[in-house]
Structure formats: C-alpha cells, structure tokens
Amino acid sequence: MNAARTAAAIRAGTTTAVAVVEATLADIAARDGALTCFTAVTADRARAEAAAVDAAIAAGRDPGPLAGVPLAVKNLFDLEGLPTLAGSKIRRDAAPAMQDAFAVQRLRAAGAVVIGATNMDEFAFGFSTENAHAGPTRNPHDPARIAGGSSGGSAAAVAAGLTPIGIGSDTNGSIRVPAGLCGIWGLKPTYGRLSRRGAHLFAGSFDHVGPFARSLDDLALVHDAMQGEDPADPAQAPRAIEPVSGLRGLGGIRFGIAAGYFERGGHAEALAPVGLAAAVLGATTRIAPDLVAEGRAAAMLITLAEGANLHLPSLRRRADDFDPLTRDRFLAGALLPAHWITQAQRVRAAWARAASRIFDMCDVLVAPLLPCVAPPIGTAVMEVDGATVAARPHLGVYTQPFSAIGLPAMAVPLADPARAGATLPVGLQLVAPPWREDLLFRAAAALADAGLAGCPTPPPS
C-alpha cells in the first residue's frame, strides 16, 4: 500500500500504526536477508513511535499526513541513539547521534515512523551500494544485480515494498541512480531547498537530500513534509515552503529534449524512455547545451577533493579500514593540484550559465536518467558506443551534470520497461530551473496519467 492510503487508513481507524509497523517488521525479517536494504532495524523505536501515533488519534489529535507510515532512512542521516555509519566500518565506534537529522525530525512531525537505517556506498562515494562491510544491496527486480547507489538501501527497500517511502542523499546522482535502477520515483530538489543538518556530508558543494516513493503523490507528500526553514544549515537558501502535492496540468509548460551529450554514452533501451516521454508531453525542441562534459568533469574533481578533505584524518590513520571501492579514490583526491579545483569551480559556474540558457528555450528538459539497466553485482566495466568504460562511475553520466549546478531533477520510472525494449527498470530524468520543482511534478503527473510513468512490480521475493 502506498503512504497516502496507509496514513488515511490509520487516521480513519480501519487499521492502526502499531499493526502497520508490526507487519513491516515481519516483512523485513522475512525478506531483507536476501536484499540487504537495512543495516539497522529500529524496531523498538518504530513500535514506540507507532504507539504514539495511535494514541494521538485516540485522543482526537491529528498525527499528520504521514501518520504511521514506515520510513526507510539512509544511514547517513542521524538517528538519535544510533551511530551514523554512513556505510563505513570506521564510524562503527562513533558516538550515537544526539538527535535526529532535520529531515527525519520533519518527517516524524508529519507522523512517519522510522523503521530502520539503510545500506549505502561508503561515505556516499559510489553509484552501486556494493558495500564491502555490509554486503551489496540487491536489486528487487533481479537479486544478482546492483540496486544502484549511493542511496541503494533506501531505494531497494521502497522498490521491494518493504516501506512505501524512504529518504536518501544525492551528490552526483545518488538518489536518481538507484531510483532509476530499481524502478521507483526519486527527487533531487534544488540545491539549498532542504536542510542537510544531521546528514553527513560527502562533497558539500553538491550534497542534497530528498525522497523516494512508489507513487508520485507519495513523493510529493514526503518532499512537502521535508521542507522547512533551518537556520542551522548554512547551505539552505531563505525560501518559503512551496508545496507540490496535488499539482496537475501542463498549461503553458514548454518542453525540451536533451540532445548532444545526452544522446551519447548509453544503451538504446536506457535512452528510449526520453523519446516516449517527449511524445506524451508534445516535446519537439531538441536542445544540446554547451559545457556538459566539462561541467561533469568539474563535479568529479570537486567531489574527489572535498571528499578527501573531509576524510583525511581517517585516511592518515587507518586507510585500510575504508571500503576497497572508496579508499584509493579518496587517497587520490587528497593529491590534486589546487589549480584544478579552483578551475573546476569556475568551470562549474560557466556550466551553470550555459545551462540557464536551456531554460530560455523550454521550462522542463526531458533527459536520460541512466546509461544502462542495473548491471550484475561486481561489474567493473561496460561497453558504450563501442568503447569500454569503467561501469560504476559511468552510471552517473547523465545525473552528475545537473547536481553539479543544483538544478531540481526527478527520476521518473517507466511503468512498463518493455515499451523501451527492456526487461529491467528504465526511466528518464525531468530537469527544471532552480526552485521550480512544481514544474517537475506537473510534468510527471502527465506522464503518470498517460500510463507511461509508474513503478513496475518486482517479482515476489
């Protein structure tokens, strides 16, 4: 059941939050051993929060629009009383968090129940959630394949139906990549929209937080609940809450089709959803922005440098306690000439100016999401355009340029992958100007209403 219907049933008294939580805990106990979505299940906490929701309803109070809805939380958000591992071994002996992250506080205030912390690439540095310490998160559509990352545990939990909603972070694509590979909805809002307080940093220049869901309405519900002013987050922009729930209608929206860079580097089945969505939306204007590859290169260098800087104390003392998939990249990131990083930040600004010209020609850009379907676990290289490339970093080829300049972008799943010639989930990306998440939700609603967008059901597990 989706979040909105679950909350409605709990508020109407046809079920209770405690019953929903008990069923969720039993489902996780039965099925997560084969998927490894969760690295900690917060059963006691979930039971107490659910009981509080039921008590509020019994007392005639409104527990909020997410009343009793189980929530999967990427384990880089602080959860009071737990060490925030961020996918690492190094933080296993960290002090327990003193309070929940701001995003978790907001969702709790809306009635959501924290069911557990989810698996991820170590310190969010990856697109595959092949975590050496916890094991890989497996894709609910094919357990031999990756779920994507870095927020892979949250995405797979939602795709598998273990929880209706989850939250993650997106620095270069870490919400949109796993959403796409698992066939669910994911939103990376505008940089500075949502407070990151209590969400461990990776590369602060690009770090965003955002929601996952199996329905567009739920995605909006969670995003609306996460909004709120937080003076303690230095990256948050002063911005009123701008709800997106219930938005419908395409009146006046101009659509563009991402061309040039975005037509290269991907398999046909992964690129096909762009054309299918363009047909539904009536998009015919092809737009090939300048400086996309350069903007992505800038993002890679800044990420390397900021990530290495953040973790340098641990790299100096105990580098071999890092995941082998992150360790040497972090070490290399510590060794980059300063000129490259400053040049990268200036190129990033130039790419942002070039990207702003996209929106002289359209209001929403329809772009590819991923270059391929979910690769088998352990895949190191892949073939694209007749060349062999490193598979894991290439998963971010279409997402990284947009997070680098903070544009709001949504991962839209194709309801029936066969329409793109695929047998595993595929999707597309909608991208809007800063602060125009409303346009993404309007466009996505049209795609869902037309039957093109939606979450394919994974086989029983």
Partner 1 sequence: MTDEDLEAHARATAALLGLPIAPHQMPGVIAGLKVAVAAAALIERVPLTEAEEAAPVFRA
Q: Is the peptide bond before 88 cis (omega within 30 degrees of 0)?
A: no
β pairing state of 255-258 and 364-368: parallel
Q: Which of 21, 67, 347, 428 binds partner 1 (CB under 8 A)?
A: 347
- DSSP structure string for 301-370: HHHHHHHHHHHHHHHHHHGGGS-HHHHHHHHHHTT--HHHHHHHHHHHHHHHHHHHTHHHH-SEEEEE--
- Give the nearer residue to partner 1 in terms of CB position, either 54 or 207: 207
- Give the nearer residue to partner 1 in terms of CB position, either 126 or 417: 126
Region at 406 (left for phi over 0; alpha for psi -120 to 50; beta for the rest): left
Residue 289 Cβ, how far from partner 1 at the closest point, in Å? 14
Applying CB under 8 A, the site for partner 1 has a residue count of 38
Q: Which of 107, 298, 367, 415 binds partner 1 (CB under 8 A)?
A: 298
Residue 315 Cβ, how far from partner 1 at the closest point, in Å? 6
Q: Which of 186, 333, 425, 434 binds partner 1 (CB under 8 A)?
A: 333
What does each C-alpha distance from 125 to 27, 225, 239, 281, 329 come to in angstroms?
Answer: 29, 27, 29, 35, 9
Question: Contact letters (x/-) for partner 1, 362-391, by CB under 8 A?
Answer: ----------------------------x-
Q: Which of 294, 379, 389, 438 binds partner 1 (CB under 8 A)?
A: 294
- Give the nearer residue to partner 1 in terms of CB position, either 94 or 354: 354
Tokens of residue 276, six digits = 């299918």
Stretch that binds partner 1, among 28-36, 255-263, 315-323, 372-380 (CB under 8 A): 315-323
Give the C-alpha separation, 407 to 144, whole Å.
33
Residue 376 Cβ, how far from partner 1 at the closest point, in Å? 22
Contact 230, 213 (CB under 8 A): no
- The position carrying tokens 């990376």 is 188
Q: Which of 15, 245, 345, 356 binds partner 1 (CB under 8 A)?
A: 345
- DSSP structure string for 402-447: HHTTT--EEEEEBS-GGGGT-SS--EEEEE-STT-HHHHHHHHHHH
- Give the nearer residue to partner 1 in terms of CB position, either 340 or 435: 340
- Give the nearer residue to partner 1 in terms of CB position, either 316 or 360: 316
Q: Which residues bind partner 1 (CB under 8 A)?
A: 205, 291, 293-294, 297-298, 300-301, 304, 312, 315-316, 319-320, 324, 327-329, 331-336, 340, 342-350, 352, 390, 393, 405
